[in-house]
Structure 1
Amino acid sequence: MTIEDRLKKIGNCDIKIIKSEIVKDAKLVIFEFDEFDTSAAILYNTGELFHLKDWQGGVPTNQKDIEEFDWLSEDGKDAIVLDGLPRLLI
């Protein structure tokens, strides 16, 4: 399943990737949804996916901005930002 398919399932909307940037062992992905709104996701090399808690708020534009936002795991669990990237506490 592509990242677009996974995000579409989460947001129940069409997704278009507009920017992707490598950050450590992951990618910061900026995407458009509902044609005009933008949001972001983090996709780890392992396949783990995190997305912004608020898809209608601001969007991080680079690695430094990631820690300024609230993130959720693909299955909706609150994440913490550790070493500049969202993570789940186990």
Structure 2
Amino acid sequence: MAVLTATQLTDIRADVGDSNTAFSDDELQRLWVRVENASSDEVRWDALKAIIFDQLLSDATKLHDYTAGAVQHKLSKVYDNLSMRSMMRAVSSVALPT
């Protein structure tokens, strides 16, 4: 079982916009193991991103827009932006048979 290198960890974080480290190294390694039966490294990488987007999207459903005086925060945009993960579903279904 291969593990993600430091460079790969940096790359996956960049690919999914994880600039605030939403996932620890251990969590990413665990997710990498979950997709180890993918048909190729490319499919495995895409399946990893699909799982990451699914988990981020699940967390984003808890965010709400709010206004306090003149300040508005549109946290629902996080959910909208993460919805692009639906493009990854076909890839993840190949790598993660049900």
Return the structure number with greater helix share: 2
TM-score higher than 0.5: no
Higher relative contact order (CA closer than 8 Å, sequence separation 6+) = 2
TM-score range, shorter chain: 0.3 to 0.5
Return the structure number with greater strand share: 1
Q: Which has the larger radius of gyration?
A: 2
